[in-house]
Amino acid sequence: EPEVTQTPSHQVTQMGQEVILRCVPISNHLYFYWYRQILGQKVEFLVSFYNNEISEKSEIFDDQFSVERPDGSNFTLKIRSTKLEDSAMYFCASFRNPFVYFGPGTRLTVL
Amino acid sequence: DQQVKQNSPSLSVQEGRISILNCDYTNSMFDYFLWYKKYPAEGPTFLISISSIKDKNEDGRFTVFLNKSAKHLSLHIVPSQPGDSAVYFCAAITGANNLFFGTGTRLTVIP
C-alpha cells in the first residue's frame, strides 16, 4: 500500500513565527494537495500543485502561505507569520488519477 | 461554490443495521467518485471508488451507488459495526484532475 508521510506529527509555535510543514508524497504521483481541518470543523482545501506550480488555491491560501517541491520528493507548506487561527491539522494528499492518498497529518498549534 | 455536497452532517445507526451516506454533486464532468473515512487526528483513508460509467461498485460491506441523472451518490455499509464510527467524505475528480471534497458526514454506530 503506497504511503504519504508527513513531518512533524505535531508542531507548536509562537504567533508570528514561520513554520514549514513537510510531506513526502508517493513518488510517481503528479498532483499534490494541502488541506487543513480546524478542530471540530470541516476539512478545507488550501492548495493544489502540479508540474512545480500552484494549479489552484482557496481563499484561505493568502500571501502568508507558500508551497514548494524543492528536491523532487518533499512537498512543503510554509506559513510565514503564523496566527492563532492557523492552529489546525494539516493534511497533505498525493494524487494520480483516480487514486488519492492522504498523509497522517501535522497538528499545528499556534500559541 | 461547493461542487460536492454532503447535506447530512451526522448520522446515527444501530449496530447491524444499514448505514446510508449520501452525496450530491453539481458538475457533470466528474469522472470518478471516491469515499474516504476519517478518524479523529488521522488522515482520511480511501474506502471505495466508482467510475462515472458505472452505477454500482461493491467491496465487502461497502457499496457505492451512482445515479448520474440525479447527480447523486451514496455509500451503503451493511452490516454497520461500531468500528465504522468516523467521518465519511465523498470526493469527485474531473478529467482535468481537479479534486473536490464534500464537507463530511459523521457516522455513529451504536452498539
pLDDT in tens, B41-61: 788 888 999 999 999 999 999
B chain contacts of residue A1, beta-carbon cutoff 8 Å: none
**Cα A92 from Cα A105, distance rounded (Å):** 7
> What's the pLDDT score for residue B84?
96
> What's the pLDDT score for residue B56?
97
B44 DSSP 8-state letter:
-
Which grid cell is B95?
Answer: 478529467
Which grid cell is A55?
Answer: 494549479
B63 DSSP 8-state letter:
E
Among positive and negative, which fits the CA dihedral B39, B87, A13, A63?
positive
pLDDT of residue A76 exceeding 90: yes
Cα-based distances in Å from A21 to A48, A74, B29, B103: 15, 10, 33, 24
- Domain architecture of chain B: domains with CATH: 4-110 (2.60.40.10)
Of A31, A91, A101, Cβ closest to residue B97: A31
> What's the pLDDT score for residue A50?
87
A86 backbone dihedrals φ, ψ, rounded to 5°: -80, -10
- CB contact under 8 Å between B43 and A91, yes or no, is yes
- Give the pairing of strands B86-94 and B105-110: antiparallel
> What's the pLDDT score for residue B1?
60
**pLDDT tens track for A27-63:** 888 889 999 988 877 778 899 898 888 988 889 999 9
A41: exposed, middle or buried (Cβ count in 10 Å: 0-12, 13-18, 19+): exposed
| CATH class in words for A5-11+21-96 | mainly beta
Of B32, B46, B93, Cβ closest to residue A101: B46
pLDDT of residue B103 exceeding 70: yes
The chain B residues in contact with chain A (CB within 8 A) are: 31-32, 34, 36, 38, 41-46, 49, 51, 89, 91, 93, 97-101, 103-104
Residue B22 carries which side chain, given as an amino acid letter? N
**Cα A8 from Cα A15, distance rounded (Å):** 18
Over residues A66-84, the mean pLDDT reads 92
pLDDT of residue A2 exceeding 80: no
Which grid cell is B104?
Answer: 463530511
Domain ranges of chain A: 5-11+21-96
